[in-house]
Amino acid sequence: MSLDLTTLTIKKAHDMLMSGETTAPALAKAYLDVIAAKNPDIHAYLEVYDNVMIQAEFAQKRIDAKENVTMLTGIPLAIKDNITVKGYKASAASKILENYVAPYDATVITKLQRGSGAVLIGRVNMDEFAMGGSTENSAFGATKNPVDTSRVPGGSSGGSAAAVAMEGALGALGSDTGGSIRQPASFTGIVGLKPTYGSVSRYGLMAMASSLDVIGPITKTVEDAEILFNAIKGKDVMDATSRDADSYAPATKSSYTIGVPRGFLKEGVDPDVLADFESALERLKAQGHTIKDIELPYLPYSLAVYYILMPAEVSSNLARLDGVKYGSLKEGKNLLEDYLLTRGSFFGKEARRRIMLGTYVLSAGYADAYYNKAGYVRRLIQEDFTKAFADVDAIATPVSPTPAFKIGERSANPLQMYLADIFTVGANLARIPAISIPSGTVEREGANGAKSNMPVGLHLMAPEFGESILFDIGKKFYK
């Protein structure tokens, strides 16, 4: 029996596996066939694991024995290349870690594979060390958007989004530092969740900016995102920043008050995207939700704050990659030259740019002027959200000011690329959960002059550990 992967979700696949309508090996084989056909063009996967069918057979044994079966048992998933899987490469899409083989499983991998019985298909492409918004910064080549291959899939988790969007996996893990799950989900017409900071262990995630990074799910539906999040969340002794929520109880309201910071939406947003956003608000209103204008006076400073704090943490975290401890090495005449040649040769342009910027804002004489001041404004932004959530249950904005742009269109203009994060970085700075859900499409010029209907997303934010609010609103949005 052939499987229609275009209509398949994690929930549907689970039901089919439980009823015997299909098997875990058959499901895995169907996705491997799609990858073999589509990946040479899309370039979502950097590596398909050699033990996929073995994993699927183990999952089927659990299903047949009806032992330790979860919603993810036998479900094929893709893993972003900055999350470690024992015995397999984890390069963070960088030449400096091109041949690095992970010696241990990330906590999320242990939970998915051993705990839930999921089938890990392979590692997927990304912007190098998660630095970028288009997946063009990978040392191993750009990933294309399956909706329109002349356009980017977003980033930095572009490979994760492309894998799901091209039917190359039922779900994927990404990481989100400033929008890296939500923006590619929006660009490819699927769902992406950035959980509350600390709700998912970062043990085994290659750090970009430690106070901002979060692992989260990319899926086809909100229900699937909830299933995947529930499997990976929780406090972990291996991650001191991980936390347990006081309660992850399901949301019980029949309707919500949703705040809209309209003062933040005045400039720089594509008119078609703004029109789709207003249409989404009308849809929410028709479903019984209350739409309320709110003020977030310090939110306009979030992008500037982010692009000071994030490079500073990048500079610190990537200092360990010097060719001596691990990773690629280019030898010079002495130790200093080893460092200079290795880092200069194996880090890509965007990684070098952010390392240098971060080193500058942390340097003597500038830390007070930039880094410390940015930390102070970050606290003001957090207070903005705290005050807003006293009056509203969730906050809505577009995910990105534009739909997916063409490959190469912004490569020469980093500032224009950074502006794509304007609506998403605030949630990372405030450490609150946020989700991107498909809200519509806008017409753009596609490949060979044809027209493409490019997806755009609705961005919803909730208070800390308020994921249940996002799931509830998101699931009702499609009813």
Distance CA 164, CA 153 (A): 11
Distance CA 395, CA 185 (A): 18
Query: How, if at all, do strands 394-398 and 257-260 pair?
Result: parallel
Helix ranges, 66-207 (H): 107-109, 158-165, 182-188
In b/e form, how buried is each residue of 401-413, taking b as 16+ CB within 10 angstroms? bbbbbbbebbbee
Stretch (H or E) spanning 306:
helix 302-317
Distance CA 12, CA 4 (A): 11
DSSP state of 407: T
Q: CA angle 362-368-369, nearest 5°?
A: 95
Q: Which amino acid is at 180?
A: S
Stretch (H or E) spanning 145:
none
- Sort 369 into a burial class: Cβ within 10 Å, 0-12 / 13-18 / 19+: exposed
To which residue do tokens 């990048």 refer?
Answer: 314
Spatial neighbors of 293 by CB under 8 A, at least 6 apart, are 259, 260, 261, 262
Do the beta carbons of residue 96 and residue 342 sit within 8 Å? yes
Spatial neighbors of 471 by CB under 8 A, at least 6 apart, are 222, 223, 225, 226, 251, 435
Q: Catalogue the active-site residues.
A: 80, 156, 180
Q: What are the C-alpha distances in Å from 363 to residues 292, 356, 367?
A: 43, 10, 6
Phi, psi of 456 (to 5 degrees): -135, 160
